[in-house]
Amino acid sequence: MQASRQIEIWFFIGALLFLYGVLILGAGIYHLVYPPLQHTALYELHSDIWWGALLLVLGLFYTMRYWPWRRRMPPEG
Partner 1 sequence: MDNLGETIPVHIPEFARGTTMTFGNPAESGSGRLLFMTPLDLIIILIYIVVVLGIGFYLKKYTRTGDEFFMAGRKITAWVAGLSFISANLSSLETMGWSAMAYQYGMLGAHAYLIGAIPAILFLAVVMMPFYYISKTHSVPGYLRLRYGEASRSLAGISFSFMTVLVCGVNMFAMAKVMQLLLGWNFDVCIWVSSLTVAVYVALGGLLSAVFNEVLQFFLIWLGTLLIPILGMIEAGGWNQMIASINAQHPGQNFTSLWGNLGSAADNPMGMHWTGMVFGLGIAVSFGYWCTDFLQVQRVMAAKSLRAAQNGTVIGAVLKMLVPIIVTIPGLLGLAVLTQKEGIVLVPESVAQTAGGHSYNEVLPLMMARYFGPGLLGLGVTAMIAGFMSGMAGNVSAFSTVWTYDVYRPLIRRNATDAHYVSMGRWSSIFGVFIAILTAYAAKFFSNILVYLQVLVMFFIIPLFGVVILGMLWKRATAAGGFWGFLAGILTSIGEFVYVHLFPGYFDAAHLNPDHVKSIALSPLAQDMAVNMYSAFWSLLVSVGVAVLVSLFTHPKTHEELKDLVYGLTKIPDEGPTPWFKHPTFWAGMVFCALIAVNIIFW
- Contacting positions for partner 1 (CB under 8 A): 3-4, 6-7, 9, 12-13, 15-17, 19-20, 23-24, 26-28, 31, 36, 40-43, 45, 47-48, 51-52, 55
Q: Which residues contact 49 (CB under 8 A, 6 or more apart)?
A: 25, 28, 29, 32
Q: Which is nearer to partner 1, 5 or 76 (CB)?
A: 5
CB nearer to partner 1: pick between 28 and 67: 28
How many angstroms separate the Cα of 38 from the Cα of each of 35, 46, 47, 66, 71? 9, 14, 15, 41, 50
- Of residues 44 and 76, the one with the C-beta less far from partner 1: 44
